[in-house]
Every structure is written in structure tokens, then in C-alpha cells.
Amino acid sequence: NKGDVLVKADATLDADAEANGGAAGAVGVSVMLADAKIEIDLRDIEKGPYVAVSGPIGVGKTTLIGLMNRFDNWQVLEEPIDENPYLSDVYSNLGDLGFRMNSYYLGRRAEQHLKVRDMTGPVLQERCIVEDARVFFPAYRDAGAYDDNDLDTLMTLYGVLERALPLPDLIIYLWAPFEVTMERIQRRDRESERELDVDFLRRIYDRHEKWIASHSSTPVITIDTERHDLVEDEDAAGEVL
């Protein structure tokens, strides 16, 4: 049930931890999702947790990261938007720029993942390379930006990088109904998003839902940002934090 989220940190240790070299008092995280419980063991994360914030366009990722960034211990890796040379034109010219756009993000995102190796303390990343591959690469193909051969090329490059790069320990997935994300995109009125096609946005949204429903390699916390409006409702934002 989206929105029913409780996260707590426990200074506990499994019964067999000390036998496996663990230290008493190590920290784990219990995530309660309705009637399900996920245990996230942070004992082996020497440098601090590595968390990615993911979700469809317009769902509130930048807002959440800004709120979390108030905590000085978070090191934030923002999505490389401002320096992206294709972003201003890609949505009106997917056929010419779609492959180059995703190649650019693949390289820049890989650079961010590599930086994590040298960072100490908790790391917060806006989107991750897994989201690029599982959501954006096929969504652009579905929209006609490139064909299956180009998608296979991107996925081959991703496969090599995925095996070599550090990946997030936890994904915070922000969710809202598609109509709500559309309203937010229109309200914020970013110049680069004015050419976004509704059908293309729907493809990206549906790919996000398909990806997160089947993703099992990383623990996921889902936050309903329609119920918890991070922009308009200070109490909701405080509850999420």
C-alpha cells in the first residue's frame, strides 16, 4: 500500500553476527510496508549507506533531495542536468538526439557511481545507472528515438559498467498518479520540459512502474508524494524525513 511507510534504525545484531565477524551494536534498518517487513543490514557498509532517489519525471525527487540535504552528513550527487548539451533540444528531436542523450547520461552517471568509491559518509544520488537502463533506454526506443540495435548497444555498455560500479544499497522510490506528475511538470514550467510529449511522459511513467515492481536486487522504500506533498505540506515533508 503506497504511502504506508515506517522506517526505524535498530542498534541490534542477528544472533549469528558475531560468529560471522560482526560487531555488537551494529546498525540495521527495519522498513515496514503495510503488512510486509524488509530488513536492511548496514553492517557491511563501511563508508556509510549509498541511497538513490528514483521515480517518474515530476514526482518530487529534486524537492526530497533538497530537504534531505539539510542534514549536513549527506553527500549529494545531483542529476547532471545543467551541463547536459542535449537536454534543451532532445524532446523536440528524439530521432536525432535520443541515443546521444542516453549515451551522455550513461557516461556521466557512471562517473558519479565511481565517485562513491572515494566518498566517506552517507551518499544520496538523484537517479542511478540502473534506472537509466531499465527505464529510460527502453522508453526512448518505445518512442521511436532509436531501434532495437541501438538499445542493445546501450544495454551491452550498461552491463559492463554494472558489474564494475558500486550500486546503491537502498532505493527511495517516489510515486504519484500520472495526472499529478503532469500537473507538477506544467506548474514548474522548466524550459527544457516544454516540448515534452504526453505520450512520451506516459511511456517513461509506465516503464518506472514496471521496473520498480520487478526490482529485487536492492531494498526499495516507496513514498506516495500525492499523499505526502513535499512542496505544499510542511507537516507531510517532516513526516517523510
Of the pLDDT bands very low, low, confident and very high (cuts 50, 70, 90), residue 7 is very low
Helix axes 198-214, 178-188, angle to 10 degrees: 130
pLDDT of residue 41: 52
Is the predicted pLDDT of residue 144 greater than 70, yes or no?
yes
Q: Is the pTM of this model over 0.85?
A: no
Q: What is the pLDDT of residues 58-81, one digit of tens each?
A: 999 988 888 887 766 789 999 988
Confidence band of 95 (pLDDT split at 50, 70, 90): very high
Question: How many Cβ atoms are within 10 Å of 145's Cβ, its own excluded?
Answer: 23
3-state secondary structure of 29: strand
What would the mean pLDDT of 27-40 be, rounded to a whole number? Answer: 48
Instruction: List the grid coordinates of 154.
Output: 546501450
Average pLDDT estimate for 128-151: 97
pLDDT tens profile 161-196: 999 999 999 999 999 999 999 999 999 888 878 888
Q: Out of 24-28, 35-39, 40-44, give the one with best mean pLDDT.
A: 35-39
Q: Residue 5 in 3-state DSSP?
A: strand
Q: In percent, how much of the chain has pLDDT > 70? A: 76
Averaged confidence pLDDT in the chain:
82
